[in-house]
A and B are shown apart, each in its own frame.
Chain A
């Protein structure tokens, strides 16, 4: 299957700093990428949908100024957690979709990025 790579896998930062997480589709072009957040032993919560070349669509309750999403190319989307605080500590997972039709295309998931804010 297609490969989605996330970087970094682990990141520890001080409170108040910003952290960027990259999501790359390695062998396909992803017109749409999704960012999820997962708390320990909980489900994945959709944060935002990112379409190449346009502004991301955020889910209700997700602060767009806090979680900046950029989808500059068909193979790269970035999530920047700005002014991170301990409550932002979480496991962030991206997924990328092949194809363009609503009923076509597969979703492939990255390995996730664990953010710990001290």
Chain B
């Protein structure tokens, strides 16, 4: 079965510093991987996806993610964090059919 794991419940960074939110995956076949962000009491906003092609995927709001097949990872990164980046981040993999299977989420807290 397809699954993703987000090993960190919370990530704390200072504004201006680089951030990384970790995600590892377990799939049979080719992985279709996604990152979404959720603000309080809101739905999910799409950040980026990996289907095929370049291992470094660039997405919205300056985020990028690196697909690493040997390490089965798809970590989300940003060179310089903003306070407004503070939110809940979900890694997801396309599961059976076309639904997304989500990780447990990582809360990112950026301090000024």
Contact = CB atoms under 8 A, between A and B. Distances in A.
Contacts of A32: 98
A110 B43 contact: yes
Interface in A87-106: 91, 93, 95, 97, 102-103, 105-106
B65 to A, nearest CB: 17
A13 interface: no
A114 B95 CA distance: 25
Contacts, number: 54
B98 A43 contact: no
A43 B103 contact: yes
Interface string B70-112: 0000000000000000000010000101111111110100000
Contact of A114 (B41, B46, B100): B41
A34 B94 CA distance: 13
A108 B100 CA distance: 11
Main secondary structure of the interface of B (DSSP, over half): loop
A107 interface: yes
Contacts of B104: 42-43
B99 A6 contact: no
Contact of B90 (A1, A43, A102, A107): A43
A26 interface: no
A74 interface: no
Interface of B: 32, 34, 36, 41-46, 51, 90, 95, 97-105, 107
Interface of A: 1, 4, 6, 32, 34, 41-44, 46, 49, 57, 91, 93, 95, 97, 102-103, 105-112, 114
